[in-house]
Copies of this chain bind each other. A is one copy, B any other.
């Protein structure tokens, strides 16, 4: 249980050499082969393993990187976390997970807490980003990489994706498939993703020449299946003239599933009567039936890119900020088939 761990000093004493030589020997820098062997043996015998807190204090480096998101349960963030871990771990960095909460203030506090130096860098994906957060990030004592919106600030490393363009791809795909009345099922507009996707849909509607009365928008109060189901009921209700939508673009796979549910409730088939697209390319959407056509925002790629940006920044603190953009990719599956089974 509690074995008082051997310290470097004891190893030095045990090997009969100085502390300095012991440290050097164990790092292989500037020590004679004889010395190395001697120290190595002593260390082995005592079961020595270096204490990272002592090392951190001296080197001003913790070999830890924090990953902060609103909620860790979200599959998108899980994918990012996995990717980040995979990139950083081989370089000897540990990953600390943190939650920003869903208020912008909490995220700002978190960035400020970086001052206590428990971590060499931070990857943060803020749900709601404001100027205060950007300010705090700029004056943060360690590198911060933002994944998500680029905060409109050239000086901050960022990895983003063009989700507006992604929504556009979904709309174009539906139009090409012959759908004409396309509704948009969005999440809360006071979130960064919500705003971006709204922008994307509006632009796509304009680009495709949809008159306002040919598009309908409904905003769910959360990015969940339940909220999507509620909002989609309204979206799919017949218009005054009895006509209905023939396609729904959802801002999210979860919302999309809610839309499929609502469609079935209303006696409509998917994709027969209504085509549905999601976003995020989650396992959920892949496995669902019908499998969801979804716009991948490359969560893994973004996570990996963010991790690489961290490494680059730690390598060279003065390099100009980099802004990686991962292009969205539409993955066509059953939920938008032209002639689908009537399941």
Contacts and interface: CB of A to CB of B under 8 A. Distances in A.
A116 B52 contact: yes
A312 to B, nearest CB: 15
Interface of A: 1-3, 5, 47, 49-54, 56-57, 60, 62, 64, 71-73, 78-79, 81-82, 85, 89, 94-99, 112-113, 115-118, 138-141, 225, 254, 257, 283-284, 287-289, 317, 343
Interface centre among A60, A96, A138 (most CB of B within 10 A): A96
Contact of A2 (B112, B284, B317): B317
A153 to B, nearest CB: 12
Contact of A94 (B96, B115, B343): B96
A49 B141 CA distance: 11
Contacts of A71: 82
Contacts of A53: 53, 56-57, 60, 62, 117-118
Contacts of A79: 73
B72 A78 contact: yes
A85 B72 contact: yes
Contacts of A99: 85, 89
Given A79-B73, A116-B51, A288-B287, A64 B139 contact: no
Task: Specify the main secondary structure of chain A where it touches its partner.
Answer: mixed
A193 B59 CA distance: 43
Given A50-B116, A81-B97, A283-B284, 10 more contacts: A1-B317, A5-B115, A52-B116, A73-B78, A85-B99, A94-B98, A95-B96, A96-B96, A254-B287, A288-B288
A54 to B, nearest CB: 6
A78 to B, nearest CB: 5
Contact of A82 (B52, B73, B257): B73
A47 B112 CA distance: 10
Given A52-B116, A64-B96, A287-B288, A1 B138 contact: yes
Contacts of A47: 115
29 contacts: A1-B138, A1-B139, A1-B317, A3-B141, A47-B115, A49-B112, A50-B116, A52-B116, A52-B118, A53-B53, A53-B56, A54-B57, A57-B57, A64-B96, A71-B82, A73-B79, A78-B78, A85-B97, A85-B99, A89-B99, A94-B98, A95-B96, A96-B96, A283-B284, A284-B284, A284-B287, A287-B288, A289-B289, A343-B343
